[in-house]
Structure 1
Amino acid sequence: MRISQLEGRRVALWGWGREGKAAWRAVRSRLPTLPLTLFCTSDEVAAARGCGDILLNLEVDASADRLAAFDVVIKSPGISPYGAEAAAAAARGTRFIGGTGLWFAEQGDAAGMARNTVCITGTKGKSTTTALLAHLLRAAGRRTALAGNIGLPLLELLDVAPAEAPKSWVIELSSYQTGDVAASGVRPDIGVVLNVFPEHLDWHGSEARYVADKLQLVTAARPRVAVLNAADPRLVALDLPDSEIRWFGDESGWHLRGDILFDRDTRVMDTSSLPLPGRHNRGNLCAALTVLDAMGLDAAALAARAKDFIPLPHRLQTIGTRDGLTWVNDSISTTPYASLAALGCFAERPVAILLGGHDRGVDWSEFAKAITDHAPRVVVTMGANGPRIHALLSPLTADGEFVLLQAEGLADAVGKARAALDGDGVLLLSPGAPSFGPYRDYVARGRHFAELGGFDPDAISAIPGLGIA
């Protein structure tokens, strides 16, 4: 649905975070006289009223009856369409769309294609891969937009002056947004899926629905080229008749043999010194290079420019040393798989890992089976799912593989970890769970971790390269 098609309809916005504000500005810039209703929290009313829009009605009761009073509701990504109120309103005819879908609808050409768009999703690694691809495209001299779930809503870049327009759009999508692209009816040029593990089960309602929603980027949005990880069995099993498939992660394309990067049988470079902590992050380089190939660029020549990449904050981010301990902020880790990958990066050093947060029902049994492969010195559990993780890991401590401690929150967990390490090792925040509850998001959690170590949270939080450059 294009923004112009909202004219004459009953339209509401749901959510007043950055995505919600971007949607309001986009609609208002195109339809200045359209009456709008905003559903927001009571804490957001004053800020929303401060925008000075006399045609914006504010409500805090997003009930099924109120939502059903509208033809279209533009919702923020964090609001699930599977919730009882939204589902009931949808059954009564209300159409729910997101800002990502609105942006894509505006980009379609006569053939229904959003040219020069690369959309990247995956349970883990999508932010790094998105930023890394944008970095390499810019290194090739191509004006590039870096936007999406990584921290800049697409609608904030809706009306770019022709002189400023990028040649390539590199867009990170969460599982909350992939369906918006499919629903827009506009095909992205290239869709990338890095991996699929269970996550966000509270938003999606089940693992099966999460997987289906995540894969909509390639199954329903039908990109011209689908770039897929050959090591992921869910991706290998896909049938995508409308897309050209390009694989990475095995010998048919870009892959790693140890730390050595190969393009099929051609050795390209040693990746061990790249600023991409962890082998999984260097695997993300393989995905980015596959995209460059699909765009007709010389990926092999550009691979070396990865050495200039600035790693993203809150992702295996070494923020400094205090009292003999290396502090590593991996606050964006929201799955047990991500926490395991983080542990693998520090297998040669004593590690205290801080685990736990919001409980969305993710199964930690595979983590428990694998943790002894890279056993830390100390595990400290915290948060709403901390007791469940602690109970699962407790039987593994009988042989002294690691020390298992419980904490009330992050500050308590840091204190116990510091004492247990006794001035030697790595203090690793890689919680494997969302931050909801004590923190607004993973950024706030990572900033608090930095403060607890005596580091400047502002100095460790900026995402380089957002926007058009």
Structure 2
Amino acid sequence: MIPVACSRTPTAHWVRFLPKQAPGLTSLQGRSVLIVGVGREGRALADRLLTQGMTSALFALDGQDGDAARAWREDYADRIALSVVDPALEPIPERLANADIALLSPGIPKTGALYQAVAALGIPMSSGTAMFVADHANTMVGVTGSKGKSTTSALIHHLLVGSGVDAALAGNMGIPVWGIDPREFQVVELSSYQCSRLETSPSVVVLTALFPEHLDWHGSEQVYYHDKLHLVAGSPDHVIANGDDVTLKRELRKRYPDLAVTWVGHNEDWHLEADGSGGHWLNHGTTRIAHSSSLNLRGDHNLRNALMAIAAASVTGKLDGASVPGLLESFEPLAHRLEPISDPSGVVFVNDSLATNPQAARAALEAFPPDQVIVLIGGHDRGVDYSPLVSHIATNPPKGVIGLPGSGQKLVDLCTQALSAAHQLGSTQLAVAASMEQAVVMARSWARPGDYVVLSPGAPSFGYYRDYEERAQDFVTWITATKETGR
């Protein structure tokens, strides 16, 4: 059993020796480098390479001449020339084709024309994240999952820092890994895109959930599973995983049958114990670590995320176990993840804009009493299976369902059919809104003090907003605008 109250001194199991050390940033000494993709990660990598001055030449390539390309030209001018190429219309310039290595950003899909064109050059391909992991694997906790990875990463970081550890938090949540200065420990959230290009594994890996996502990027469900779980291909020292996720358990065991895994779940050593009053104890073996009332997080899924975070922090040998309850209590929910917004009406609005898939929206609904929740769902329709969300709505009818522009109409139609089949159609108000303004006004008219109005779209924002943050801001704007009038 891994003790929760760990010493403050490093333990021997933290030191790892890779059978084959993957190339890190120092491997670029004297080489010409092509940065593919000029978004956040590409810029952070460029800044680090320019600062260290180790490369013989730097080039940049992107497939779109948009805001990111314009910002690159303004900020890097003559230091790193940018070429924007549509591979369907023109070849990659020869000076770029002769680079020693191409470092691809996460936004360059393997199924896309730009990736295929770079691959056809025959030069080695890697990524900035892969090189960061290679350089810092010994002191890194890597977190991935189809949902829950941001909250779990932030919790691990919070627990370590609260235990007196000099730890950095970076990765997929918007802080590029090469935008931080390495610390005693690095907690890094990794997307499936980033995992797919790794050449080694962090010493500690956390897997929060697994279900089909980003199929347009990966090409198929099985490729997505392969790429996501590639995070453990380098044989981490510790793997902490969600034992209640049937798909994760099946796919991990199928692909890595000899991998030692610490499972966190209802029937595992790390588990949740119902207290008989609606709450839960977070347990390790027979030890009660903390109570769910200590957390400012809603939903059983977040209790499990917290338990995985505790398990991951404990194996570093740095966690102050006695401080865990207080640290959980002081952890604030991340923006756009079941983030409560108070309102003078007594209705609680909840911003869960980052719920961009049906499973995440379902988890949000599970965190509230069904007869007190009105959910706003819909957005960009990627053709995914909505049944996890729709089936939950049919068996746990919420007070209201409001469809947002995009897939909102489709979702409301599916919910109507499912509720009717379950003989629950009269339990839920259903409507489709033409805008966020109309959705908020409608929700206000349905809600009563004590009710929850939850923006948990279950779909991305593409085509309607710049990103989930802009969608959330639109939600907040109309909550504020309708405070006094109620409309």
- TM-score normalised by structure 2 residue count: 0.83
Shift of 1:365: 1.7
1:384–1:243 CA distance, 2 compared to 1 (3 A): same
Within the candidate set 337, 340, 351, 2:359 is matched to 337
Superposed, 1:62-101 pairs within 5 Å as: 62-63=86-87, 65-66=91-92, 69=97, 71=99, 72-101=101-130
d(CA) in 2 for partners of 1:195 and 1:315?
16
- Residue 290 to residue 299, structure 1, CA distance change in 2 (3 Å): farther
Pairing partner for 1:178 from 195, 206, 231 = 195
Q: Contact between 1:117 and 1:170, CA under 8 Å: does it hold in 2?
A: yes
Task: Find 1:193's aligned residue among 193, 199, 207.
Answer: 207
Q: Does 1:44 align with 2:107?
A: no
**Residue type of the partner of 1:256?**
L
Measured on the aligned residues, the alpha-carbon RMSD in Å equals: 2.5
Amino acid at match of 2:372: P
Q: Secondary structure at the match of 1:454?
A: helix
8 Å contact 1:201–1:361 — kept in the other structure? Answer: no
**What is the aligned partner in structure 1 of residue 329 from structure 2?**
307
Equivalent residue of 1:226, what SS? strand
Alignment pair present for 1:232 and 2:259: no
Check 1:221–1:167 CA distance in 2 against 1; reply closer, same or farther (3 A cut): same
* 1:120/1:313 CA distance change after superposition, 3 Å: same
Instruction: Show the counterpart of 1:295.
Output: 316
Deviations for 1:91-110, whole angstroms, at most 9, x for unmatched residues? 44244432211212333xxx
Deviates further, 261-270 or 329-338: 261-270
Q: Work out whether residues 337 and 355 of structure 2, in 8 Å CA contact, stay in contact via their aligned partners in 1.
A: yes
Structure-2 change in CA distance of 1:206 and 1:48 (3 Å): same
Partner of 1:459: none
Inter-CA distance 88–21: structure 2 relative to 1 (3 Å threshold): closer
Residues 144-194 of structure 1: CA distance to partner in whole angstroms, max 9, x if unpaired?
A: 11111122110112xx3xxxx52211111111111232x3xx331111101
Preserved CA contact (<8 Å) 1:292 1:299:
no
Once the 2 structures are TM-superposed, how far is the Cα of residue 8 of structure 1 from its aligned partner?
6.2
Q: Figure out how many residues of one structure are paired with residues of the other and give that number.
A: 439
- Summarize the Cα distance change of 1:280–1:55 in structure 2 as closer, same or farther, 3 Å threshold: same
**Stretch moving more, 134-143 or 258-267:** 258-267
**1:276 counterpart = 2:304:** no
Please point out which of 119, 126, 129 is paired with 2:152: 129
Q: Distance in 2 between matches of 1:92 and 1:27?
A: 23
Alignment gaps of 5+ in structure 1: 108-113, 456-469
CA contact (8 A) 1:100 1:154 kept: yes
**Residue ranges of structure 2 left out of the alignment (5+ in a row):** 1-22, 275-279, 482-487
Percentage of matched positions with identical amino acids: 37
Cα distance in structure 2, aligned partners of 1:15 and 1:88: 13
Offset at residue 424 of structure 1 (A): 6.2
Alpha carbons 1:378, 1:404 under 8 Å: kept: yes
Q: Per-residue deviation at 1:264?
A: 1.5
Give the letter for the 1:176 counterpart: Y
1:144 correspondence with 2:176? no
Following the alignment from structure 2 to structure 1, what is the Cα–Cα distance between the partners of residues 464 and 116?
28
Distance 1:49 1:91, change over 3 A: closer
Decide whether the 8 Å contact of 2:31 with 2:56 is kept in 1.
no
Q: Which residue of 2 aligns with 1:346?
A: 368
Distance in 1 (alpha carbons) for counterparts of 2:92 and 2:406 = 32
1:337-382 Cα deviation digits (max 9, x unpaired):
1111111221165221111112222100232222133321111112
Q: Deviation digits for residues 5-53 of structure 1, max 9, x if unmatched?
A: 4466554323332222112112222336514133252333432222244
Separation in 1, partners of 2:291, 2:24: 47
- Structure 2 distance, partners of 1:42, 1:269, is 49
1-structure distance, mates of 2:381, 2:117: 26
Q: 1:408 to 1:70 in 2, by over 3 A?
A: farther
2:44 is aligned with what amino acid? Answer: A
Cα separation, 1, equivalents of 2:271 and 2:320: 13
